[in-house]
């Protein structure tokens, strides 16, 4: 490891780190000198593979299987990461449920699933991490992956928007509550992003063919959807001391401008 890297010596927990953006953040955290990385998810094969890849590249890593719909399991990932590495310095809540539902066809069960994974899980992961940092008397950093859709979103994302808008509020509330503990908490409203999860969603819910990504790239101003590596770099920057005193910010990371009108 080279000194001077953004996360030099830090221990990082990443929920949803087994694929897509979460896995990309884990890779970037390792590249930027993290001393240890814990990733969570439900799929053991994928999780063990990502952890092994990180470890093979020189960054100690562990996969913590967890169903984040269970708030006890979600909070428990913090405890388990601390037990394994001895401490925790930074958290990224990257896991998210994106199943579709409108205001008219969303069932109470679907709504509860979104709240459990997208709001309740990060709430209690943050809670446990903040308790640990306060007990140590150390500063720390948390980044919550939110969504541009929390501003309003598409009609077919009603329960998703409800849960993610809640997470944006919790991000600001927690940042304000713990600013004097020097625990910086920020959120990132990501827009349409090219991931394997998005590929699955497009095919499952929108009847997309093999050319959906090219069509999507052609439909947006910058000629490409959001890229995992670019977002991961920004998340790691927010986790690092290089992002200075910034806390309580929920940043739009997209190529569409909220409030703009043609």
CATH number at residue 55: 3.40.50.720
Q: Which range of residues forms the domain containing residue 81?
A: 11-191+226-253
Q: 87 lies in a domain?
A: yes
Q: Is the pLDDT of residue 223 over 50?
A: yes
* Residue 139: predicted pLDDT: 98
The two tokens of residue 202 are 């497009």
The confidence band for 200, taking pLDDT boundaries of 50, 70 and 90, is confident
Question: Per residue in 102-118, pLDDT tens?
Answer: 999 999 999 999 999 99
Quote the distance between the C-alpha of residue 176 and its chain's center: 20
Q: 1 lies in a domain?
A: no
Q: 26 lies in a domain?
A: yes
> What average pLDDT is seen over the chain?
94
Mean of pLDDT values over 25-41: 97
For tokens 């409800």, name the residue.
162
Mean of pLDDT values over 113-129: 98
The confidence band for 3, taking pLDDT boundaries of 50, 70 and 90, is low
Q: Is the pLDDT of residue 1 over 50?
A: no
Residues 81, 38 contacting (CB under 8 angstroms): yes
* Residue 199: predicted pLDDT: 75
DSSP characters for the chain?
--TT-TTTT-EEEEETTTSHHHHHHHHHHHHTT-SEEEEEES-HHHHHHHHHHHHHTT--EEEEE--TTSHHHHHHHHHHHHHHHS---EEEE-------B-TTT--HHHHHHHHIIIIIHHHHHHHHHHHHHHHHT--EEEEEE--GGGGS--TTBHHHHHHHHHHHHHHHHHHHHTGGGTEEEEEEEE-SB--HHHHHHHHHHH---TTHHHHHHHTSTTSS-B-HHHHHHHHHHHHSGGGTT--S-EEEESSS-TT---
Number of structural domains found in the chain: 1
Pairwise CA distance, residues 63 & 59, whole Å = 13
* Residue 218: predicted pLDDT: 85
Q: 220 lies in a domain?
A: no
* Residue 183: predicted pLDDT: 98
* Residue 210: predicted pLDDT: 86
Q: 207 lies in a domain?
A: no
Mean of pLDDT values over 24-48: 97
Question: Per residue in 129-159, pLDDT tens?
Answer: 999 999 999 999 999 999 999 999 999 999 9
């Amino acid at each position: 490891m080279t000194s001077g890297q953004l996360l030099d010596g830090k221990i990082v927990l990443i929920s949803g780190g087994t694929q897509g953006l979460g896995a990309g953040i884990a890779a970037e955290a390792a590249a930027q000198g993290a001393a240890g990385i814990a990733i969570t998810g439900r799929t053991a094969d994928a999780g063990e593979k990502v952890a092994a890849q990180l470890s093979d590249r020189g960054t100690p890593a562990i996969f913590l299987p967890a169903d984040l719909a269970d708030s006890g399991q979600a909070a428990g990932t913090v405890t388990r990461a601390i037990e394994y590495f001895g401490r925790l310095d930074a958290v990224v809540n990257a896991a998210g449920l994106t199943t579709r539902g409108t205001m008219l066809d969303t069932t109470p069960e679907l709504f509860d699933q979104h709240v459990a994974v997208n709001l309740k899980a990060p709430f209690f992961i943050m809670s446990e991490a903040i308790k640990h940092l306060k007990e140590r008397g150390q500063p720390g950093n948390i980044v919550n992956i939110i969504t541009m859709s929390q501003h309003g979103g598409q009609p077919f994302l009603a329960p998703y928007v409800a849960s993610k808008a809640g997470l944006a509020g919790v991000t600001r509330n927690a940042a304000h509550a713990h600013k004097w503990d020097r625990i910086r908490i920020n959120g990132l409203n990501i827009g349409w992003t090219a991931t394997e999860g998005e590929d699955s969603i497009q095919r499952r819910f929108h009847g997309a063919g093999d050319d959906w990504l090219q069509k999507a790239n052609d439909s947006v101003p910058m000629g490409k959807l959001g890229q995992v590596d670019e977002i991961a770099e920004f998340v790691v920057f927010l986790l690092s001391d290089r992002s200075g005193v910034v806390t309580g910010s929920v940043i739009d990371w997209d190529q569409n401008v909220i409030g703009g009108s043609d």
